[in-house]
């Protein structure tokens, strides 16, 4: 058994993953493409893309990212896109054993669309799910994957990473011009606001200060289920999340006129599916926040954080701990003078604080 990820060098970690999963990925690619000459090339390109961002891929979520890259690579091939999506749905369902909701997230579509693709695909295949699964098994019986071309994959991945870093640096330089963050709740001031030592949040306690937010690195537009009925995602200029019943809320980085390089955090109470929850944006940090803490009447909550690859210094935070109506009234009664939310930088120092206001989600 491999030791935990935090004691493995990044390169060793990827090499172990690639060697272990190469045969399975080759078989899945063969079912997707039905083209022996294209199968291993599709997997090679997939692993190059994965290696280029391996440091940003959550280890407990690596299979999702690799499968998504594999399917996207398949869908970019020059053939009928609808037929390719139907084939992808069936392979993910019957060969990979994924649930419809997982397939929907991977493809970026609704569960209803996944089911419609599956129904149409089975109709075109002229068989049922059980027989098609058996057909898939027979189709890969003679597939003999070659040895994973690890050295070439890593070399190509390093080159791709360098190109992406150069492009990301140029994009961030253009983005970090005097602009600002829309504050549905208040934007907290600079480092040390609301405290005397600049290293801790009021009333959070030493145990809470040592806690770390769950920071998840996502791609542009990648949907994340934050709280029941609410999905969040990041765009190039802000955070956009939607609740049930088609209601949407949007926060943009360039609406308030404040400089993006000045640390700040917004905070709000939202309501979806008969529950209150807390969320907001942070901006102006160098890299990812160490954590975001929210002080509530029942204790301090360490929030989850979403950020884009490349650590642009801004992102979304949310606390999926539900609040009671009484808690909400207590939080809002403090007004702007009560700074309940604290964003810490990577060194553990206070970067910004904010009060909480009502949001319409």
Q: State the SS3 of 114-182.
A: HHHHHHHHHHHHCCCHHHHHHHHHHHCCCCCCCCCCHHHHHHHHHHHHHHHHHHHHHHHHHHCCCCECC
User: Residue 78: exposed, middle, or buried by beta-carbon count in 10 A (0-12, 13-18, 19+)?
Assistant: exposed
**pLDDT given at position 205:** 40
Residue in 219, 248, 240, 225 with CA at minimum distance from that of residue 307: 219
Confirm if 302 and 212 have CB atoms less than 8 A apart.
yes
Confirm if 25 and 92 have CB atoms less than 8 A apart.
no
How far from the centroid of its chain's Cα atoms is residue 176's Cα? 22
Confirm if 107 and 75 have CB atoms less than 8 A apart.
no
Return d(Cα 268, Cα 332) in angstroms, integer. Answer: 9
**pLDDT given at position 3:** 34
Reduced to 3 states (helix: H, G, I; strand: E, B; else coil), residue 37 is helix
Confirm if 293 and 195 have CB atoms less than 8 A apart.
no
Side-chain-side CA neighbours of 304 within 13 Å: the count stands at 14
Residues whose CB falls within 8 Å of the CB of residue 40, separated by 6 or more in sequence, listed in order: 26, 29, 145, 146
Q: Which pairing describes strands 224-227 and 315-323: parallel, antiparallel, or unpaired? A: unpaired
Residue-wise pLDDT tens for the chain (361 aa)?
233 333 344 556 899 999 999 999 999 999 999 888 889 999 999 999 999 888 777 777 788 889 989 998 998 876 667 888 999 999 999 999 999 988 888 887 888 889 999 999 999 889 899 999 999 999 998 888 899 999 999 999 999 888 877 765 554 444 333 333 333 333 344 333 333 333 333 433 434 333 555 788 888 778 888 888 888 888 766 666 665 555 556 666 655 444 556 788 887 787 777 788 888 888 888 777 778 888 888 888 889 888 887 777 788 888 888 888 887 777 766 544 467 888 888 778 888 887 776 554 4
**pLDDT given at position 330:** 77
**pLDDT given at position 9:** 46
Tell me the DSSP string of 41-85: HHHHHHHHHHHHTGGGS-GGGHHHHHHHHHHHHHHTSSS-HHHHH
Confirm if 88 and 51 have CB atoms less than 8 A apart.
no
Reduced to 3 states (helix: H, G, I; strand: E, B; else coil), residue 24 is helix
Return d(Cα 149, Cα 47) in angstroms, integer. Answer: 10
């Amino acid at each position: 058994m491999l030791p935990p990820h935090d004691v493995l060098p990044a390169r060793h970690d990827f090499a172990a993953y690639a060697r272990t999963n190469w045969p399975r990925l080759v078989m899945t690619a063969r079912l997707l493409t039905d083209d022996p000459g294209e199968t291993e090339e599709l997997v090679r390109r997939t692993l190059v893309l994965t290696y280029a961002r391996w440091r940003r891929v959550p280890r407990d979520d690596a299979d999702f990212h690799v499968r998504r890259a594999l399917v996207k690579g398949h869908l970019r091939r020059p053939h009928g896109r609808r037929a390719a999506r139907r084939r992808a749905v069936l392979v993910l369902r019957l060969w990979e054993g994924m649930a419809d909701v997982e397939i929907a997230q991977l493809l970026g579509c609704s569960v209803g669309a996944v089911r419609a693709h599956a129904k149409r695909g089975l109709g075109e295949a002229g068989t049922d799910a059980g027989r098609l699964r058996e057909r898939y098994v027979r189709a890969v019986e003679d597939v003999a994957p070659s040895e994973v071309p690890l050295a070439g994959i890593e070399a190509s991945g390093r080159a791709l990473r360098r190109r992406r870093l150069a492009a990301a640096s140029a994009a961030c330089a253009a983005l970090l011009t005097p602009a600002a963050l829309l504050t549905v709740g208040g934007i907290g001031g600079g480092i040390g606001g609301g405290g005397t030592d600049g290293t801790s949040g009021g009333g959070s306690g030493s145990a809470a200060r040592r806690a770390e937010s769950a920071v998840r690195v996502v791609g542009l537009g990648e949907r994340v289920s934050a709280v029941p009925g609410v999905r969040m995602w990041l765009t190039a200029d802000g955070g956009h999340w939607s609740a049930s019943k088609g209601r949407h809320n949007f926060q943009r980085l360039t609406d308030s006129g404040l400089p993006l390089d000045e640390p700040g955090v917004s905070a709000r109470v939202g309501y979806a599916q008969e529950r209150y929850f807390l969320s907001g944006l942070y901006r102006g940090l160098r890299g990812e926040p160490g954590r975001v803490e929210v002080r509530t009447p029942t204790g301090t909550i360490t929030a989850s954080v979403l950020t884009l690859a490349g650590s642009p210094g801004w992102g979304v935070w949310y606390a999926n701990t539900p609040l009671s109506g009484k808690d909400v009234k207590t939080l809002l009664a403090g007004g702007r003078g009560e700074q309940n939310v604290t964003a810490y930088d990577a060194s553990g120092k206070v970067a910004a604080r904010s009060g909480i206001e009502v949001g319409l989600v």
